Chain A
Amino acid sequence: MNLKDTLLRLTNTLGGSGKEFAVSYLVRDLVRAYVDKVEIDGFGCVIACKNSNDPEAKTVLLDAHIDQMVMVTTGITEDGFLRFIAQGFDPRQLYGADVLVETRRNGLIPGVVNTVPKVFNAAAAQSTVKVAELTVDIGYPRERVREMVSIGDYIYYANDTIELACDTVCGRAMDDRAGTAILLETARRISTMDVPVNVVFSFTPREETGGPGASLTGYLTKPDMAIAVDGSHAKCYAYSGEGSFDFDAGAIIGFGDHSYPAIAEALIAAAKAKNIPYVTNLIPAHSKTNAGRLEYAGLGIPTGVVEFPMRYAHSSVEIADINNLAMVSNLLTEFLMMGGTKQ
C-alpha cells in the first residue's frame, strides 16, 4: 500500500490515548510482511523487529505514537447531555462540532457539541468559549442516555480525512499517524535491503497524555539508540514565527534536549549523502516527543528527534504533505543503512 493510502487508513481508524487497540491491530497487519517479528503488549504497543544478518549489529529503535488526542465523558447532566474533558483541545473549534462517542456497549454514537443561539448570548458570542460551557448532545431522550453512554467513554471529532490538492491530506490525528505511516514506509523500504543494524519499530500508545508507552517499549527492547518521529508546526497564515517551519521543509532534525549530538549529526550526514532536504530544530528543553521518555527507559537510551511539518496541530484539520513524509522516510532509511551512529 502506498504512503497516502496507508495514512488515510490510519487516520480514519479511531485510537484515543489509552484505547488504541484498533490502530494497534491495523499497524500490526500492515507491518507484518516487512519484519521478522511483531508483537502487541497489554497496552497496545506494537513492537516490530527486523534483524540484521550481522550478529554484532547494534539495535536502532524508531518510535512513532499511534494514539490521538481524545475527549472523555465525565458526567451526564440531568437533561441527558454529556459533560466531558478536552485536554489539549481548542474549545473554539469544539463549539458546534460533529463528534462521535465511542461507547462500551453500543458502538459509535454520533453527536454534536452544543452552541448557544447568538440571539440569547450576543455578548458571550464574542468572547472565548470554555469547555465547561460545552456538552455533547447525542439526541437520545434523557432517560436513555445513561444506558447508551458510560462515564469514561471517549469522544472524537467525527470528520474523516480528506485529500486536498498536491498530495496533501487533512484530518484528525495526522499527529502522529503520519509518523506511523513514515515508519511503515521505512519498514517497507528496508524489508528487501541488507541493513547493518537491527531495527525495532515501536508504535507507541499514550504519548498525548504523557503516558508510559515509550518507557515500556524502550525497557523491553533495550536498543542502542532511539529516534522519535513526530509532527512539528508548519508555518500557516496566522503564524509563521519562532517554532514553525516551512511546509515543504523536508525532515526537521532536533538539536538540544533529547537529541544526542552524535545521533543528530549522523542524521544530518544521512540527509546530505542523499540530498534530502532538512532543517534543524533547536530544542533548548523538552522536545515534547517520546524521546523524552525513551531517554531514561531501562538503563537509558541515547535518543534523537525527527519531525515532519504539519499545519494546525491538535485540531481536526491537521494537514500533512505526503511528499514531505516520504522525504522523512528517505532520511530514516539512509540513517539505518549507514548503521546509525558509529559510537
Chain B
Amino acid sequence: MQDILALQKMLLEAAMPFSIEKQSGELLAKLIRPYVDEIYTDNIGNVICHKKGPGMKLVFPAHRDVIGFMARNVTPSGAVKITSVGGHDASELVNTPIRFENGARGVIRKSCPESRGASGFGELYADIGAVSTSEAEKLVQPGDMAVFDFPCAKRGTRIMTPYADNLIGCITLLLAAQQLKECAHDVYFIFTVREEEGATGALVAAWNLDPDICIAVDVSDALDEPRSEQPRNIRLGGGPSITARDGSIHSPAVWEKLLDLAEEIGIVHQSESMPYGGTDASSFQENRKGAVTAVISIPTRGIHSPVEIYDTADVEGAAALIAAISAREFPVVMPDRRK
C-alpha cells in the first residue's frame, strides 16, 4: 500500500480550485492506471476510471477540486484584491499564506488592521511582496486562482494538511483500487471536478453514467475537539463514518448494508447523521433514473481551514470497505425483489 503522507504531499502540489483541476486529474489518472481497465476524462473534466465487472453499475465519486481564492484586480499600491472560491470564513483568513497558480506566493492581509478578523472579502487583499504595481501585475492577473500555502505534516497516524477535503477522498479511492482484484460490480472510481461550486461536475457524470448505486467519498466534521456541548459523536480514529443523512437524505437500504458489511468484515466504523452538508452523491440521486446513494466519510477536524487533520487509520478502513463493497455481492434491496 502506498504511503498516505506521500500521496497527500503529491496531490497537495497539484490541487487547484474549480476550472483548473487538470494537473490533479492527470496525476490521479497516472496513479490509478495500473489498477483499472480504462480511464477517460469527460467534457467537464471528471476523470472516470472504470473497472469492469458484472452486476450493478456502482460509482464512487470523490472530488478533486479544492476551495481557494481568485484575484480580482491589483490596486495602485500593489495589493491584490481577492475573492472567495468555495466556502471560506473571511474572519479566519487574516495572515494566511497563499500560493497562486503560477507559483507566486503571498499572504492574506486586512485593509483595516485596527480591528480583529474581517467581516468579508471586501476587507481582504493578498500581499505578494511586489515592490511596484507593475511588478504585481506581472505576477498575478485578474482571474488567477490561489490556494492555501501550508505544508503537510504527520504525527503518529494523524496527518495535518490543507485540503484533506477532499484529496483524502481521492487517496481513499486510489488505495481501494489497489486492493481490488475481481469486481462483482461494474465499478467506476470518479475524480470529480467542481464539487465546491455545487457538485456540478458530478451532475455531468451522473447524466452520462446513470448508475444504480453511488457511494460518495468525502470528509465530514470530527467533533472530538474540546467544546462544551457535542451534538454528535464522530471522532478521529473511530473509523470511516457511514452517513445516513446530511443536507440530503441517502438511502437507508444502502446505509444499513454498509453498516452490516463493515461489522461482518471487522472494519471499525462510525454511523453519522447531520442536518447540513452535501456531497457529490446528491447530484447522482437527482439525475435521470436516480442512483440510490450513500456517503463514506473520513472524519476530519477543521474542514475548510488551512490546517485540517485526519487519521490515516480511518482512510485505510474506508479503502478496505470500498474494496469489499466492489468485490462482493452486495444485494442492495430493491424493494420489488422482496415481495
Instruction: Give the interface of A toward B (CB within 8 A).
Output: 17-19, 21, 24-25, 39-44, 72-76, 83, 85, 87, 104, 132, 150-152, 206, 209-212, 215-216, 219-220
Contacts and interface: CB of A to CB of B under 8 A. Distances in A.
B274 A74 contact: yes
Interface residues of B, number: 34
Contacts of A17: 249
A24 B289 CA distance: 18
Contacts of A19: 252
Contacts of B334: 41-42
A87 B246 CA distance: 12
Given A42-B334, A83-B231, A18 B251 contact: yes
Nearest to A25: B335
Interface string B277-307: 0000000011011101000000000000000
Contact of B273 (A24, A151, A210): A151
B134 interface: no
B271 interface: yes
Given A41-B289, A150-B259, A211-B249, A85 B233 contact: no
Contacts of A76: 233
B272 A40 contact: no
A204 B226 CA distance: 43
Interface string B127-140: 00000000000000
Contact of B231 (A41, A43, A44, A74): A74
A12 to B, nearest CB: 20
Contact of A104 (B256, B274, B290): B256
A219 B290 CA distance: 9
A18 B212 contact: no
A214 to B, nearest CB: 10
Given A18-B250, A216-B289, A24 B335 contact: yes
15 contacts: A18-B245, A42-B212, A42-B290, A43-B292, A74-B231, A74-B273, A83-B231, A104-B259, A151-B270, A209-B249, A212-B248, A215-B286, A216-B288, A216-B289, A219-B290
B2 interface: no
B285 A212 contact: yes
B290 A151 contact: no
Given A42-B212, A216-B289, A216-B290, A152 B272 contact: yes
B271 A87 contact: no
Given A72-B244, A83-B231, A210-B248, 11 more contacts: A18-B249, A43-B285, A44-B335, A74-B231, A74-B232, A75-B232, A104-B256, A151-B271, A151-B272, A209-B248, A211-B248
Interface of B: 212, 229-233, 243-245, 248-253, 255-256, 259, 270-275, 285-286, 288-290, 292, 332, 334-336
Nearest to A19: B252
Contacts of B251: 18, 42-43
Contacts of B229: 132
B290 A72 contact: no
Contacts of A152: 243-245, 252, 255, 271-273
Contact of B290 (A24, A39, A43): A43
B272 A220 contact: no
B286 A85 contact: no
A59 B86 CA distance: 43
A72 B289 contact: no
Contacts of A40: 335-336
Contacts of A73: 273
Nearest to B230: A75
A85 B335 contact: no
Contacts of B335: 21, 24-25, 40, 42, 44
B338 to A, nearest CB: 8
Given A19-B252, A215-B290, A151 B232 contact: yes
Nearest to A152: B244
A132 B231 contact: yes
Nearest to A209: B249
Contacts of B230: 75
Contacts of A83: 231-232
List of 8 A-B pairs having minimum Cβ-Cβ separation, nearest first: A152-B244, A18-B249, A212-B286, A216-B290, A151-B271, A75-B232, A85-B275, A152-B273
A65 to B, nearest CB: 13
Contacts of B244: 72, 151-152
B270 to A, nearest CB: 8
B103 to A, nearest CB: 42
A272 to B, nearest CB: 38
Nearest to A84: B273
Contacts of B252: 18-19, 152
A87 B275 contact: yes
A75 to B, nearest CB: 4
Nearest to B260: A104
A216 B291 CA distance: 10
Contact of A219 (B212, B231, B270, B289): B289
